[in-house]
A and B are shown apart, each in its own frame.
Chain A
Amino acid sequence: MTDERMDERLREYAARWAAARPAPASVPLGRQPRRTGWVPVAAAASVVALVAGIAYAVAPRRSPAPPPPLASASVPPVPTAPACGQSQVRGEVAFRPTATYVDGTLDLWTAGPTCTIPHVPTLSVVGDGLRDLGVTYRFAGDDVPVVLTAAHRRLSLTWSPPFCAQTQVVVLMVTIRTDDAFRLPLDKAALPECDAVDRGPETNVLHAQWEHRHCTTADWQVVSSDAATGEHGVTVTAVLRNVSADFCDPYAKPFLGIRTADGRDLDLGHVSTMDLRSGPGVPPGGQVRAEVLWTAYCGPHPGGYDASMTVHGARLALALRAHPVPPCRDQDEDTDGSVATGWLTPLP
């Protein structure tokens, strides 16, 4: 069979395969989610269903047996900070107008011990008589529990196009919980004068993003490391603690180096570029879990491996025993058939 004939055969089979499956768009919207079925877009995109969808997505459905540990150091439990009290959270806001939008920052910190707010604060802008100015708020990143400490945690804000200064009082409402909000008055001078351009409230967008910096080796302390083998490869895990006084960017990719017992460095096919996370940074004292899944498609690699993981410049060494892999074939796409995929997860 020629390559062209195989190409043709694949196209024919794909067409028949697709024709045998109903298009998802034909699924009636509003249908109740089922255990193993389709949750419609309308529901998935609604706030209520979003919460349900996330819970659904993370709910355990099948419980594979845990892989046997290899070189393991136990991961200590991470203490969870209590919920922030009503009077505990402090905030400070500053705006700086530009020609076309308003730049700003919102600092949040606690006057007491470290505590947690259940989600990214909701921001709204109100004018005279606490009238909602209709500013659409969008946060760039995860809406996950946020740990607040005595250190200022800064959100950078962009308000575009800016609502002009037609009201006497403008207040930024910061809602920490449904029953807990505080008001930060804005300097009216920060708002541009009204002009002839229609700047209706419906077009206003307040955009927020956590600020953090790229931390380096000295900022991280290795708390623990672990390696476990499973059916699909070896997962190397390390827990790191931010020992700096700043919020660290948690999105740098962890890297993994594998050297076989006979001294060869494996050519890991690639580190995934699929990690689309963009959420809050790691607070001072906070921890992050770095994981690299090393999928060895073929072997053998008798005698085990020496592995080193590099996360934010922090390097740690691990000893891994061999695990069974199928024999290599000529067509295997990567040298040794190995692929490493890494991602980072902030710990609560």
Chain B
Amino acid sequence: MTAVVERASFEEWVRPHLGAMARLAERLAPGDGDDVVQDALTRAWRRWETFDAGRGTPRTWLLAIVADRARRTRLRRRVTVPLVDDVAEPAREGDVALEGALRRLPRRQRLAVALHYFTGLSVAECAVVMGCAEGTVKSTLHDARRRLREELGDD
């Protein structure tokens, strides 16, 4: 009975955030998103007791786990990911170049962009997930946009 009750509670607790988890996982570990989410869910289930509502929302806690698992997945697998196979279809002019430039961003910039633009988090929420100040998130996003502009030129 206990396991059933907890399973149902966990499902309800996680379900609203699945979309964001999947998007972030796919952005941070292209091609491995499903595995990363699976890994993150397993880890979240095992560590559910450690969630502290005083330090963040369930959404930021789960996304922090996804970011952590994505990083470890990429390091463990050392996969070279094609840069042009994962843009939205049909690809618009410039999307391929933008996707490639996004993947060449430094890790922290890529994480900030994935959280803010692709997962829809506010700057404050990004700061919780990234473990830094809101000002740092803003400057990281600004640096990322500047680097993207430089890579893409004035198209």
Q: Give the B-binding residues of A (Cβ under 8 A).
A: 1, 3, 6-7, 9-11, 13-14, 16-21, 23-25, 33, 36-39, 41-42, 44-47, 50, 53-54, 56-57, 61-62, 64, 134, 136-143, 230-232, 269-270, 272-278, 293, 295, 297, 331-334, 337, 339, 341
Q: Which of B34, B49, B88, B99 contacts A140 (CB 8 A)?
A: B49
User: B145–A42 contact, CB under 8 A?
Assistant: no
Query: How far does the Cβ of A69 sit from chain B's closest Cβ, in whole Å?
Result: 17
Q: Which of B45, B47, B75, B146 contacts A293 (CB 8 A)?
A: B75
Mask of B77-118 contacts with A, CB within 8 angstroms, 1/0: 111000000011100100100110000001111000100011
Number of interchain pairs (Cβ within 8 Å): 166
On chain B, the number of residues with a Cβ less than 8 Å from chain A's Cβ atoms is 69
Mask of B9-52 contacts with A, CB within 8 angstroms, 1/0: 01100110011011100100000001101110111011101100
Check A53/B41 contact, CB under 8 A, given A37-B34, A45-B11. yes
User: A39–B38 contact, CB under 8 A?
Assistant: yes
User: A64–B77 contact, CB under 8 A?
Assistant: yes
CB-defined contacts of A42 to chain B, threshold 8 Å: 7, 11
CB-defined contacts of A54 to chain B, threshold 8 Å: 42, 46
The answer for the CA separation of A294 and B79 in the assembled complex, in Å, is 19
User: A38–B34 contact, CB under 8 A?
Assistant: yes
User: A333–B108 contact, CB under 8 A?
Assistant: yes
Given A21-B22, A45-B41, A339-B107: 11 more A-B contacts, CB < 8 Å: A41-B10, A44-B42, A45-B14, A47-B7, A62-B77, A140-B50, A232-B78, A269-B108, A278-B50, A333-B109, A333-B143
User: A276–B113 contact, CB under 8 A?
Assistant: no
User: B41–A24 contact, CB under 8 A?
Assistant: no
The answer for the CA separation of A38 and B41 in the assembled complex, in Å, is 11
Instruction: Across the interface, name the chain B residue whose C-beta is closest to A209.
Output: B49
| B126 interface residue per 8 A CB criterion | no
CB-defined contacts of A331 to chain B, threshold 8 Å: 106, 143, 146-147, 150
User: B87–A17 contact, CB under 8 A?
Assistant: yes
Q: Which of B6, B38, B131 contacts A270 (CB 8 A)?
A: B131
Q: 13 A-B Cβ contacts within 8 A? A: A6-B149, A10-B148, A13-B98, A44-B38, A45-B11, A141-B50, A143-B46, A272-B131, A274-B67, A276-B68, A333-B109, A333-B140, A333-B143
